[in-house]
Amino acid sequence: MLQLWVITRTDVPKPVLGGLVALNTVLAVALQVRATRGASTMPGVIRLTRAAALSAAIACPIAAATGMTHGWPTVALLFLAVLLFTGTELWISAAQWYIQMEIPPAAQRGVYSGLDRSMQGVTRMAGPAGLTLLVIGTGGWGWWVIGAGFAACALAVRPAMAWIERTPRTAERHTVEPA
């Protein structure tokens, strides 16, 4: 979505967009292991998830601002937005690993993982169209709506994870000894 925004709503030369995509790729590769620090505990996952949501919440208005700037300030703001969105990508990926592997009972990991993959498929199918319509179709104020959604997620992380911690999983409640 950021790439489409850059092409349609900013004056940034198209080769700069290639550099921003390359920057995202290099950062994702270089910082992937470092970004997983803390992903092996529930408090660490809460911290990573909150950091991801806050990073995206901050990046959205920065991206919106690039529709109103020109020249090098736009490039600088896009650079910052890419840094923040890359952090979001890395932190949520690290947290997701813990949620998929440690929260479900061992016998039900496939069910949890399958549900997660199904939800990812829905968001990958509907998300880009909806977000593009919201961002591009509104001329940019949609970035603020998306950023507010991420901020709300940052606030909801701790209560949601606390609920997960205190809610027993099905396999834990109905453990059956083999005959």
pLDDT of residue 11: 92
CA separation for the pair 176, 165 (Å, rounded): 22
Q: What is the mean pLDDT of residues 143-154?
A: 95
The domain spans of the chain are: 2-167
Give the pLDDT of residue 103: 82
Alpha carbon distance 50, 123 (integer Å): 20
Could you report the per-residue pLDDT of 3-23, keeping only the tens digit for each?
889 999 999 998 999 999 999
For residue 116, give the 3-state DSSP assignment: helix
pLDDT at residue 178 tops 60: no
Crossing angle of helices 42-65 and 142-166, in 10° steps, is: 170
Predicted TM-score of the model (pTM): 0.86
Give the torsion sign (CA, 132, 148, 91, 98).
negative
Write down the residue that tokens 């169209």 correspond to.
Answer: 129
Tell me what pLDDT residue 51 has.
97
Q: Would the pLDDT of 52 be above 50?
A: yes
Angle at 39 between CA 33 and CA 41, to 5 degrees: 150
Reported as a pLDDT band with limits 50, 70 and 90, residue 179 is: low
Q: What is the mean pLDDT of residues 76-104?
A: 92
pLDDT at 174: 46
Residue 102: pLDDT over 90: no
**Could you tell me the two tokens for 137?**
């179709």
- Give yes or no for residue 146 having a pLDDT over 90: yes
Q: How far apart are CA 129 and CA 127, in angstroms?
A: 6
Q: What mean pLDDT comes out for the span 151-170?
A: 87
Higher pLDDT among residues 129 and 148, named by residue: 148
Q: What is the pLDDT of residue 169?
A: 67
Neighbours of 81 (CB within 10 A): 25
